[in-house]
Structure 1
Amino acid sequence: MQGMRGKDPEPIWHARDTSVKQFCEERGIQWVEKVSHTLWDPHQVVKTNGGTPPLTYQMFLKPSQVQKRLVRAKTNKLGTGSGQSASAPVASVMEGYHQKKLTGGPISSNPATRE
């Protein structure tokens, strides 16, 4: 027989959990406990933090160690500076519009219909 439940991080429930575990052990019931309703195991977070729980959000904002140095790109692969990409043409704002069909709005070709 096997019992399973979510691991409760709240200290108030430790006595209850210990009693249930003892009850199961006495009756030969295997007890499985998993982190379930939290995103991380709070006991592991405290252990990783040197035995102190993070009490404020500011503790999470501390930068971690840099794994490796960033290397600057030697070339500009995004564009040539002329508004055109080396790999694909970049359309201008006006390309694709039929100037004579535009009515109203700030870019209308007909001055009488401009707002």
Structure 2
Amino acid sequence: MRLLALAAVAALLVGCAPTAQPAAPTAETLASACSAKGGTIQPVGKAQIPTCVIPYADAGKACTDKSQCEGQCVLEGNLEAQGDVTGTCQKTNRQFGCYARVVNGKSTGAICVD
């Protein structure tokens, strides 16, 4: 009976044992995955963190809403536009600096991102 109890406890403990974790991706793996999406690893933001930056094909195209762009429709600069506005399609998947999103031809208000 005691042997059976020990076997049951051992079975429970085996279930609690840590499992092998997948290896963290290497810099080469991340760069390769980024390249496959058409991007490059670049230092971004104030902290200059290496990040996959993917350019958009419609960068700079005039727009009045995100639905017209691969990324966001934005007004660049530290401004508070009022009334109907026309923005431009975001250049890359990383938007830094001062800008306002344009939704249905209206500015959502400026934001500055480091």
**Does the alignment reach a TM-score above 0.5?**
no
TM range (shorter): under 0.3
Say which structure is richer in helix.
1
Whichever of the two has the greater Rg, that structure is 1
Say which structure is richer in strand.
2
Normalising by structure 1, we get a TM-score of 0.25
Normalising by structure 2, we get a TM-score of 0.25
